[in-house]
Amino acid sequence: MSSEVNDLEHTLFAFIESSDEAYALFNDQDLLVYCNAAFARLFNAESDFLAGFSFRRLAERCYNTRQGIHIESDDLEGWLRYAEELRRTRQFRSYEVEISGGRWFLFSEQIDKQGRMLVRARDLTAQKQLEGRINHANQKLRHMAMTDELTHVANYRGFFEAAEAEANRCWRTGAPMTLMLLDMDHFKKVNDSHGYPVGDEILRRIAEMTRDALREYDVFGRIAGEEFAIFLSQANDEVGIQIAARLIESIAAMVFTGSADGDPEVRVTASIGLCIGECDTPFEQLFKQAEVALQQAKDQGRNRVEVFHMKKD
């Protein structure tokens, strides 16, 4: 019976020695007493060389040689304290680790009653690369779902998601906010007289001009056929009105080419409804008040800015 056990132990040991998966054994003092060749390769070393290394010494070697476990920290001692606080806190735990060369491994640690720790590491690089490609594809799809195909600015969904997030930030910090709705005046006549290709080009150029006129962190989108929306954070009524007035003037000054020879140059105007929100103004209420202001701008003759001031009770 003991011969069979010895044979079995020898067979298991031979499998571990030749395995592509990494194995290591630490004693109750956290000193490495055994590792197979696959484990040693993770640290760009030989098994015999690593024998007797403590976990701390292994980590220090990785940090100094940039081989083995990737330690992304300027404070090695702080990183070690954090790692040692987690180490040996549970009988079993697993975690993902980046290894030099851009490889990823799933490490598992199991502790027996004598305090010895068996470490196993399995290569996850192919899986992580696949996950990266999937995440990139999902991000691309999400961007497409949030972007207006014609103007390449945010669409209705993209604008509202980004604007509500920015409004929440303003609420938390108490910053003022401004919402504008910009609608092209009599744009159906432009399409009917000059054709949809001309109308599309006008929308593209106006979207480009508006985007360039705004701050990097402002939110801008096309929310309907010829209607755009702009959310300005940290913008009081003076700033909001100045930006809106500049947009109205810039649009009126733009000249567009007609669809064919003999087709006259095309000029357009726009109306803007603007609402100034306070830190307790719900975003939906801001939007409704901006709609009211936009309608007032149209009723007052178009090509103008009208403001609805939201006040606290």
Region(s) of the chain under CATH 3.30.70.270: 148-309
Q: Does the annotation count 131 as an active-site position?
A: no
Give per-residue pLDDT as tens, 168-192: 888 888 888 999 999 999 999 999 9
CATH superfamily of 148-309: Reverse transcriptase/Diguanylate cyclase domain (3.30.70.270)
Sequence-ordered alpha helix ranges (H) in 87-225? 125-146, 156-173, 187-194, 196-213
Q: What does the alpha-carbon distance between residue 130 and residue 105 come to, in Å, rounded to a whole number?
A: 14
Q: Catalytic residue among 109, 166, 226, 306, which?
A: 226
Residue 262, pLDDT score: 66
User: Could you tell me whether strands 177-184 and 227-233 are parallel, antiparallel, or unpaired per DSSP bridges?
Assistant: antiparallel
Give per-residue pLDDT as tens, 7-19: 888 888 889 999 9
Residue 309, pLDDT score: 61
Give per-residue pLDDT as tens, 67-92: 999 998 999 999 999 999 999 999 99
Region(s) of the chain under CATH 3.30.450.20: 1-129
Give per-residue pLDDT as tens, 241-254: 999 999 999 999 99
Q: How far is CA 147 from the centre of its chain?
A: 15
CATH topology (fold) of 1-129 = Beta-Lactamase (3.30.450)
